[in-house]
Amino acid sequence: MIAASIVGLLLVGIGVMNMGGGDSTAADSPQPPSAIADPAPATGGTPTLPPVETVANPTPQTGGNGRAQPATGAAGSPEPEPVDPEPAAAVAAADPPARGSAPPPATNTQPVTGAAATPQSINPTPPPAAAPPPTPGEVRIALPSTAMAVGGTQDASVQVFTTAGARMTSGFNLGWRSTDTGVLAVDTRGGVRASGPGTAWVVASAGSARDSVLVSVAAVVAAVEIAESDVSLEVGGSRALSAAAMDSNGTRLQRDIRWTSSDPAVVSVDASSGRVTAGSAGRAQVTASADGVSDAVTVSVAAPGPALPPAEAAQGAIASYVATLAGGDEDAVRRLWGSGDQDGLEEVLDLMGERGFSATLRTVGDPAEQGGAAVVPFSVQAAYRNFAGAERRSTLNFVARFERSGSAWNLVTAVVQ
C-alpha cells in the first residue's frame, strides 16, 4: 500500500516537471494540473501499477500570452479545466502582462450607490471679470503766461491722469470754460483771449477731475488819438489840443498823456495840458504819447496878420447874418446868439414871427479889438404888420464878435445890445 502511494506521487511529480519547462513566468504562476486517472483499487494480493503514459512533447503549449494551454485528450478535445481556487485578482497580480504589451484597462472598484450611477459633472472655471475702464483722477493745465493784455491770445494745454497716476490720452471728454467771459474767453480747444481788464480762472475738466489757473488781464493802451487835425495858427496864437488813450476794444483808458513838439521854436506845447503856442512861422509835429503808444498832428504857423478884420470882410459876414434873420432861420439866430441876454433873443424871435416880417441892414461900424477878438456894431431895420394890418418898423442894434483863425476872421456871435 505504501509502495503504491509512492509510485503515484512520482508520477504526479513527473507530470508537473514536464509542464514547468520553458517560460519562467508559467513556472512561477500556479497552473492547473493534468487529468490523471485514479489507480484502480486493489482487489487483493500484490497491487498492480497502472501503465505510465508517455508524452511525446513534454514542452507545454503556450498561447499568444505566454500561458500554458490545457492538455488535450486522446480525441483532441480539451479536457475540462478545473476551477481555479484563487481569486481573479490574485491571478492578475501574480501574472503580469508580457513585456511590450499594453497594460490592461484600469478597473474602477468604487461601489456604485443609489438606483442608478450618476456621472459626476465638472463645472468649468468662469473667465475672470473684465477690468473696469480707467477714469480720470487728475487734470493739469499748462499756460504760457498767467499775465495777459487786453486783446492778447494764447493756447492752454492739459494732461489727464487716471486715479492710479497713469497718463490718459483717450477715453474721456475734456471741457474748457472761463469764470468771467468779460475778462477771458476760452474756446473748446483751450484757446484763451483776453477780452477785458481784471482776473478770471481758466478751468479744464475731465469727468469729475478738474484744474484751474488764475489769469490777470491788464488794460493796455492800444492806440492814442488826438482829436484835432490840420491845426493852423499865427505867430503868437495858441490853442489847446486834446487826446485820449484807448485799448484794443476802443474803450477809453485813464492814462496820463504826454505832449512834445518836433520844433519848439515854431510851436511849443505844454507837456501835460497839450496847449500849443505859435512862436514863429513854419510847421511842427506835436505828439501825444501814453505807455509807448503815440499819435501826432501837424501845426502850421503863419506870419501875423492884421490886428482887426478888414471892414469889407466884416461887412460881408454881417450882411449874410441879416439875410438869415430876414429868412426866418430861428436856429441860426439862436446859435449865433450864444450866451447873450435871453430877453433880447426872445424879442427878436417874436418880431420874426410877425406877419410880413423883413430885416434890412442899415449901418456897419468900425471893428474894435476886445480881448484878442474884434467887435463890430451894426444896426438892422425890421418891418412887419400888426394884427390890424398896419405896417410897423423898429430898429435893432447888434454887436458882432469876430475871432481869428490863422489869417481868417470868423463871425462867432451876434446879439442885440
The residue ranges of every structural domain in the chain are: 136-218, 223-302, 311-416
Which letter does DSSP use for residue 178 in this model?
Answer: E
Helix, strand, or coil (residue 37): coil
> Average pLDDT over the chain, rounded to whole?
79
Structure-model confidence comparison of residues 315 and 53, the more confident one = 315
Cβ atoms of residues 220 and 150 within 8 Å: yes
In the structure grid, which three cell numbers stand for residue 32, read together? 492547473
Mean pLDDT confidence for 147-158: 93
Whether 144 shows a pLDDT value over 60: the answer reads yes
Topology of domain 223-302 in CATH is Immunoglobulin-like (2.60.40)
Which residue(s) pair with 375 in the sheet? 368, 401
Provide the pLDDT for residue 137: 94
Assess contact for 149 and 162: CB atoms under 8 A.
no
Quickly state the pLDDT bin for 69 (edges 50, 70, 90): very low
CATH number for region 311-416: 3.10.450.50
Higher pLDDT, 50 or 399: 399
372 pLDDT tier (thresholds 50, 70, 90): confident
Mean pLDDT of 335-340: 87
Residues ≥6 apart with Cβ < 8 Å to 65: 97, 98
Among 103-107, 171-175, 221-225, the minimum mean pLDDT is found in: 103-107
User: Nearest-5° angle of CA 182, CA 184, CA 190?
Assistant: 145
Which position has the higher pLDDT, 103 or 136?
Answer: 136
> Which candidate, 97, 31, 99, places its Cα nearest to that of 60?
31
> What does the pLDDT look like over 14-66, one tens digit per residue?
444 444 444 444 444 444 444 444 444 444 444 444 454 444 444 444 444 44
- Class assignment of domain 136-218? mainly beta
Which of 59 and 184 is assigned the larger pLDDT? 184
Decide if pLDDT at 215 tops 60: yes
- Do 414 and 397 form a contact (C-beta atoms < 8 A)? no
Looking at residue 8, its pLDDT comes to 53
The Cα 282–Cα 274 span in angstroms is 19
Q: Please report which confidence band the pLDDT of residue 119 belongs to, taking 50, 70 and 90 as the band edges.
A: low
For 380-390, write each residue's pLDDT tens digit: 999 999 888 88
Q: What is the model's pLDDT at position 121?
A: 56
**pLDDT over 60 at 300, yes or no:** yes
pLDDT of 223-239, one tens digit each?
A: 999 999 889 998 989 99
User: DSSP string of 292-332?
Assistant: TEEEEEEEEEE----SS--HHHHHHHHHHHHHHHHTT-HHH
Average pLDDT over residues 71-86: 47
Question: Quick check: 132 pLDDT over 90?
Answer: no
The CB density around residue 197, as the number of other CB atoms within 10 Å, is 18
Indicate whether 205 pLDDT > 80: yes
Tell me if domain 223-302 and domain 311-416 are identical in fold: no
How far, in Å, CA of 243 to CA of 147, rounded? 28
pLDDT at 304 over 80: no
Out of 16-30, 181-195, 328-342, least confident range: 16-30
| Residues in Cβ contact with 289 at an 8 Å cutoff, skipping those fewer than 6 apart | 224, 257, 258, 259, 260
Residue 220 backbone dihedrals phi, psi, to 5 degrees = -110, 140
